[in-house]
Amino acid sequence: MPIILNIINDINNILILPKTLYIFDIDEVILTFTHSNDIWWNEKRKNYLKLYYDIFMTENMIYNEWINIMNTTKPVLLINNFNDILNKITENNSNYIFLTARKPFLKKLTILHLQYCNINIDDNKIFFDKEKGNKLLELFNNNINIYEYNNIIFIDDLIENINNVNDKLSIYSNTHNILLYNFLYLHK
């Protein structure tokens, strides 16, 4: 079964299928922060690199600023009917999890952000790892019986995460339909 990549700018365009595991990224897919989207990151990176010529220091400085924004700013929900989508998924005998590149120490804050956006979810459905493909393999080996599902659908805004998941989940391409959605959030 092939691995299929789709590019979307509306989460309502994902297929809702039975016996499917949906894996959602959080930032820039479900919610965003007005002052810290990927355009913000790229501008900060460019400006700090001009000043310091050190990518490691630059990334740490940007990350610290982002943590400050997350602690002091309320998120904006990107999909008004996201709870309806989650309900349709569960009604179709499917399941969903969230997999974010946020660090695990941000779990309580992440739950608060989702709750602020009226997404109340079991905190056992939220997972944290920058290496998303490796984390999914770990989950499939230890926590999630992937053979309960016919399909795996992964939704993320970053192509490097899509590629990582594509590489790691290719071992399931003989037993599962795998759909990868690259969500392109249109910044306003």
pLDDT of residue 120: 83
pLDDT of residue 185: 72
pLDDT of residue 2: 58
pLDDT digits (tens, 9 = 90+) for 41-64: 788 888 888 888 888 888 888 888
pLDDT of residue 188: 46
pLDDT of residue 165: 96
What is the number of other CB atoms lying within 10 angstroms of the CB of residue 150? 15
pLDDT of residue 187: 54
- Closest C-alpha among 34, 31, 11 to residue 88: 11
Q: Does domain 3-32+75-183 have CATH number 3.40.47.10?
A: no
DSSP string computed for 136-180 = HHHHHHHT--GGG-SEEEEEES-HHHHHHHHHHHGGGTTTSEEEE
pLDDT of residue 101: 94
Whole-model pTM: value is 0.89
pLDDT digits (tens, 9 = 90+) for 143-186: 999 999 999 999 999 999 999 999 999 999 889 999 999 998 76
pLDDT of residue 67: 84
In the three-class reduction of DSSP (H, G, I as helix; E, B as strand; rest coil), residue 183 is classed as strand
Q: Rounded to 5 degrees, what are φ and ψ at 98?
A: -115, 135
**Burial degree of 87 (CB within 10 A; 0-12, 13-18, 19+):** exposed
The domain locations on the chain are 3-32+75-183, 38-72
Mean model confidence pLDDT for the chain: 90
